Structure 1
Amino acid sequence: MKVAVFGANGQIGRLFTEQWLQEPSGKVRAVIRDAGQAARFEEMGAETAVADLEGPVRKLTEAITGCDAVVFAAGSGGHTGPDKTLLIDLDGAVKAVEAAEAAGIGRFLLVSALGAGDRERWNESIRHYYVAKHYADRAVQSSKLAYTIVRPGGLENGPGTGRVQAAGRLDRGSIPRADVAAVLAAALREPRTVGQAFDLVSGETPIDEALGAALD
């Protein structure tokens, strides 16, 4: 399966790319904004395509045509203002959905945020971020795509543990980015994750088992 990754140069996107390339028949097309980033991914064995989420949907469609699935792991980052959050985390995600539909790609995975689906659970200090994630989620859910929405808690660096909690609603917690990437890969392997949205934090249960329990 060839997966187009938006946000491939971000931390979760890079980790997912590394992991998916280890899958049997796993292929990646890293969608990057700067051609200067291509060498890193080509050394990994990934294809690259240059396209800007702030640019036209047509360019995004061209960048992902021929892929089997899309992972949207892009984000504006904490160093930018609310305007960039809306342009990347919200409008960029909506454009990626439109591009996937135009390219005839059915499978779509979105990295969101824990509690994004419930306004009562939003962190007031970064409300603009939750607004962006909430409406990106809704755009994906209202599309015709075979979607999975992964809503991780606070993101940490460092090695993954391979053990998580996954459920429709979880208390706040944190999780290594490496484990989020591993859950994205597991979700692609598990057809029952289609049409599902779930919170994700660190836990004691192996990833495949935790996903299975969340979907039962």
Structure 2
Amino acid sequence: MRVVIAGGHGQIALRLEALLAGRGDEAVGLIRNPDHTADLQKRGATSVVLDLENSTVDQLADVLTDADAVVFAAGAGPGSGAARKDTVDRDAAILLADAAESAGVRRYVMVSAYGADNYDPDSTEVFQIYLRAKAQADADLRGRELDWTVVRPGSLTDDPGTGQVTIDESVPRGRITRDDVAALLLHILDNPCTASMQFEVVGGSTPIADALATFAREH
């Protein structure tokens, strides 16, 4: 399986790349800074230097040729201003969807944000603008004829993964390890039945595969 990951140097992306490469899949990370290439190579992934804020659909579609899936794991980062929440968290995600359609890649997995739809539309606070950007990107993706899955993780930690989660359309606020989010994304890529699903996820007591299967069965 060839998986192209936007935001390829992000902490979740690096973990997912290692999981993919470790079992023989091809992980391709899109990065803006060429100095990050070595970090991807250490995980067994290849890199493509491409600035999503300054790229065209055609440029990105060329990278997606022969891909089996794309994952949007990019983000402007906690130190960025409001403008980049729109240009990265929203517009870059939409650009990836446009390019996926152009390249004929149907599978799109979105790493979104917990509670994204609950933003304050009148707020000028950066975090609220971030949530709005995520919600708008998710809504755009849900309106497309792609095999999409939208994942909305709770507060992220660098603790070791447990392999156990809680998944539902809405879950109580909580924390989840980046290890477990990456493992969850791998399960999603392996399971076509997760297409057209959107859910929140935090740490829990149910193995990832079982939690996904139960949610898919009930929804």
The secondary structure found in structure 1 opposite 2:160 is coil
Deviations 1:138-187 (A, max 9, x none): 11111111000000011111211110001111111111111111110011
Q: What is the distance in 2 between the residues matched to 1:117 and 1:131? A: 7
Output the TM-score relative to the length of structure 1: 0.93
Q: 4+ runs of 1 displaced by more than 4 Å?
A: none
In the alignment, what sits opposite 2:196? 195
Residue-pair matches, total: 213
Equivalence map 1:1-216=2 (5 Å): 1-23=1-23, 25-55=24-54, 56-119=56-119, 126-216=127-217
Aligned-partner SS, 2:16: helix
**What percent identity do the matched residue pairs reach?**
37
Whole-angstrom CA distance in 1 between matches of 2:18 and 2:160: 14
- In structure 1, what residue type is equivalent to 2:67? C
User: Post-superposition shift, 1:20?
Assistant: 1.5
Is the deviation greater in 43-52 or in 153-162?
Answer: 43-52
Gaps of 5+ in 1: none
TM-score when scaled to structure 2?
0.92
1:47 is displaced (CA, Å) by: 2.2
* 1: CA distance, partners of 2:175 / 2:183: 15
> Which amino acid counterpart does residue 146 of structure 1 have in structure 2?
D
Would you say the 8 A contact 1:31–1:63 is kept in 2? no
SS at match of 1:54: helix
> What letter is aligned with 2:194?
T
For the aligned residue pairs, the C-alpha RMSD in angstroms reads: 1.7
Q: Quote how far apart the aligned CAs of 1:67 are.
A: 1.1
